[in-house]
Amino acid sequence: MQTAINYATIHTGTQVLENHTIIVENGRIRSIEPIDNFGHENARTIDLAGKHIAAGFIDTHINGGQKHYFTQYPTEETLQDIYESSLALGTTHVLPCLITSPLDNILQGIEATRSFMQKNPKAGVLGMHLEGPFLNLAKRGAHLAAYIRKPTNAELEEIIKYGKDVIKIMTIAAENFTDEQLDLLLENGIKLSLGHSNATHKQAQHAYRKGISLCTHLYNAMTQMGHREPGVVGATFDNADVYAPIILDGFHCDYAAARIAYKIKKDKLFLISDALFVGDKVTHFKWEEFDAYLNDGQYRNSEGNLAGAAISMADGVRNAVQQVGISTEEAIKMATIRAAKAVGMEQSIGQIAEGFPATFVVFDEALNHFEPLIVQ
């Protein structure tokens, strides 16, 4: 049976449409048609009463749900928590992030992700983001120093063996890798992100030329842009093809810095939450020596370092519009199609287009309320 979604402003990912109908059949978008061209006699109709609709948000960097933290509990239960907590706020697709930890923990996270995806093919868990453990100690942020290590061929081969079909992003400090090690990861289809890096501009440029195509949380845990040493930030700005995710919570970067990044990177700047937990329910957290306290809308550890964000993707969209001055149309693209392009999934998610899944986010003009809409 077909479903017709009517009376909404439609953000397709490439344009904004009024007076059109989204036709859904068997959980997929069949077509988008002018509303006057489609007969509704044999279709179920959903009247959105003038609200906005877009493809569901995509969060490529999220650490926990309302209850569980993936690195601490790398289980299917945690993945379900992350997915459900995100979905409730309009994020239909996620890459749960597992951070710097022992190899056994990484392999457990890989297996849990693979099993969850096999058992729940319609859920929006796209794979895993492995952030570390091969980071630069000088830029570790809240990552535990005890588990940060230099890459060895043996450990990289183990991670590739068990995880190359699951790991969609791997954050590394590329200055600590040999060219052969970078090639090993890239040739096995693992998308690399430059982050938690103390690289010089020259080293970062070399990494991007080798095939690293994005950075991890722009401005944070990387060398900053100076007029004599432009660092990782400068190299990211200097490479038109490099994608840059940004955390728009007002703490990870000033909104003025976000405006500058948008002017420079526009088509490659996209949103992530980097949420430690979702929904502000967890106010104190401890895993081994990693601790975090929620205060004034931010998670910080006992050393005073930011330890992940406390926003949702919907918050990021709202802040992009209201604090950074980006248009609603552009902010939606930053949470959908651009995020999909950054991880090479733009042919399957991130747009309202023929053949794409009927997984949407619906929101009001003022950006005060976001809710999912999944049509089977």
Active site residues: 274
For residue 29, give every residue at least 6 positions away whose Cβ sits within 8 Å of its Cβ, in sequence order, or none: 22, 23, 352, 353, 354, 355, 356, 357, 358
Q: Assess contact for 371 and 362: CB atoms under 8 A.
A: yes
Structure tokens, 194: 């430059």
Strands 57-62 and 269-271, how do they pair? unpaired
Structure tokens, 138: 């000088």
First to last CA, the chain: 9
Exposure on the CB side of residue 319, measured as CA atoms within 13 A? 24
150-171 burial, b for 16+ CB within 10 Å, e for fewer? Answer: ebeeeebeebbebbeebbbbbb
For residue 311, give every residue at least 6 positions away whose Cβ sits within 8 Å of its Cβ, in sequence order, or none: 247, 248, 249, 273, 275, 297, 319
